[in-house]
């Protein structure tokens, strides 16, 4: 869908350039200045200049550390002493466990009882207190937070998290100043909020497109409704993109800075996943394949010679080896 125009209150919710500058300074040395390269294999396959921004190489295997380190640094000493809590089925949980341990902050992670075993094990290995929750995950997290006076590290609905993600967009422009189109996988909307605000301010004419799985299209549904609208069911092989909610701050960034949100079918994700592994030689998780899926399905049309940047958001999967 074409993204509707911003609402009057959106402008006040956007992270500032100063906040992005500060985030870049805060997380320097803690996260990877991730490489971007032109993929000959995917460029041949897709008929355009395809550049891959490799967030899957980050510590804990996804872009999530950018926002998490930035948020953690914003806490008061008192908040750090009390500890933090997060909920997630995977990548955000791993990033919070990793960053909190580095900062010496006590960390509790709540994961759904249905989370995939290897991600649960990864969080355990990172030394977090772990609770597997049957039923309402968010309600349980809020109860623990209240009881133990913990600070919630939200996976996307937080300006510090968005400013952290925006450092990725800054790097895209630094490394590929002539980019025509930026394609970003969309779950709860944290990554695209940050990437889009940074890219849009630097390149008003760059096309910015978000892609979400058809059966996990919370941002599409929320844009249509005009406000954050939870999904009753959210399911995809791209498990990193199945957040059933988005945030007001995320919708504000998307309405202000993104051109289109498109959806892709499961079979297209499955085929694109294989192509990125075989032709792009990246051990991605399925979430990172949705950009390629959208191009292959014709939902995103690239002109020959067009320079596109695809954000390879993560690589945590047990499907490969």
Least Cβ distance, residue 137 to its own copies (angstroms): 26
If you ran DSSP here, which 8-state letter would residue 150 be given? P
Window 238-277: contact mask with its own copies (x via CB under 8 A) = -----------------------------------xx--x
Least Cβ distance, residue 299 to its own copies (angstroms): 22
- DSSP code per residue over 235-273: --S-GGG--S---HHHHHHHHHH-SEEEEE-HHHHHHHH
Q: Is residue 58 a contact point for its own copies (CB under 8 A)?
A: yes
Give the range of 13-21, 157-165, 166-174, 278-286 binding its own copies by CB under 8 A.
Answer: 278-286
Least Cβ distance, residue 203 to its own copies (angstroms): 23
Give the range of 39-47, 108-116, 189-197, 301-309 binding its own copies by CB under 8 A.
Answer: 39-47
Residue among 13, 15, 36, 264 that touches its own copies (CB under 8 A) = 36
Whether the Cβ atoms of residue 171 and residue 53 lie closer than 8 Å to each other? yes
Q: Is residue 57 a contact point for its own copies (CB under 8 A)?
A: yes
Query: Residue 157 or 171: which CB sits closer to its own copies?
Result: 171
Query: Residue 249 or 288: which CB sits closer to its own copies?
Result: 288
Query: Residue 60 or 88: which CB sits closer to its own copies?
Result: 60
Residue among 4, 35, 177, 230 that touches its own copies (CB under 8 A) = 35
Q: Spell out the residues 6+ positions from residue 70 whose beta carbon is closer than 8 angstroms to its own.
A: 23, 26, 27, 160, 161, 163, 164, 167
Q: What are phi and psi of 152, to 5 degrees?
A: -80, 130
What is the distance in angstroms between the CA of the first residue and the CA of the last residue of the chain? Answer: 36
Q: Is residue 283 a contact point for its own copies (CB under 8 A)?
A: yes
Residue among 84, 91, 126, 89 at smallest CA distance from 107: 84
Q: Is residue 54 a contact point for its own copies (CB under 8 A)?
A: yes
Q: Is residue 70 a contact point for its own copies (CB under 8 A)?
A: no
Burial of 266 (0-12, 13-18, 19+ CB in 10 A): middle
Residues 149-178, interacting with its own copies (CB under 8 A) = none
Q: Is residue 280 a contact point for its own copies (CB under 8 A)?
A: yes
Least Cβ distance, residue 45 to its own copies (angstroms): 12
Dist. CA 71–CA 296, nearest whole Å: 36
Whether the Cβ atoms of residue 64 and residue 30 lie closer than 8 Å to each other? no
Residue among 290, 92, 297, 267 at smallest CA distance from 209: 290
Residues that bind its own copies (CB under 8 A): 32, 34-41, 54, 56-59, 61, 273-274, 277-278, 280-284, 315, 319-321
């Amino acid at each position: 869908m074409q993204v509707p125009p911003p609402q009057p209150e959106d402008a006040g919710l956007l992270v500032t350039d100063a906040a992005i500058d500060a985030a870049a300074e805060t997380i320097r040395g803690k996260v990877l200045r991730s490489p971007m390269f032109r993929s000959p294999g995917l460029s041949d396959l897709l008929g355009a200049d395809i550049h891959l921004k490799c967030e899957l190489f980050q510590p804990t295997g996804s872009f999530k550390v950018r926002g998490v380190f930035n948020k953690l640094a914003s806490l008061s000493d008192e908040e750090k002493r009390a500890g933090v809590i997060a909920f997630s089925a995977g990548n955000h949980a791993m990033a919070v466990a990793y960053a909190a341990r580095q900062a010496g902050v006590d960390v509790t992670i709540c994961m759904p009882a249905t989370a995939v075993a290897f991600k649960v094990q990864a969080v355990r290995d990172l030394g977090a207190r772990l609770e597997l929750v049957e039923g309402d995950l968010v309600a349980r997290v809020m109860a623990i937070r209240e009881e133990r006076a913990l600070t919630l590290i939200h996976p996307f609905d937080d300006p510090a998290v968005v400013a952290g993600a925006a450092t990725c967009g800054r790097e895209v422009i630094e490394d590929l100043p002539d980019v025509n189109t930026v394609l970003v996988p969309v779950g709860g909307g944290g990554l695209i909020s940050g990437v889009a605000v940074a890219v849009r301010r630097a390149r008003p004419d760059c096309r910015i497109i978000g892609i979400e799985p058809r059966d996990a299209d919370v941002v599409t549904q929320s844009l249509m409704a005009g406000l954050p609208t939870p999904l009753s069911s959210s399911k995809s092989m791209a498990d990193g993109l199945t957040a059933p909610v988005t945030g007001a701050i995320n919708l504000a960034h998307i309405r202000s800075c993104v051109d289109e949100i498109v959806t892709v079918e499961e079979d297209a994700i499955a085929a694109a996943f294989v192509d990125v592994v075989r032709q792009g030689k990246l051990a991605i998780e399925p979430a990172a394949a949705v950009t390629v899926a959208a191009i292959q399905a014709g939902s995103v049309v690239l002109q020959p010679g067009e320079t596109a940047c695809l954000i390879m958001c993560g690589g945590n999967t047990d499907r490969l080896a």
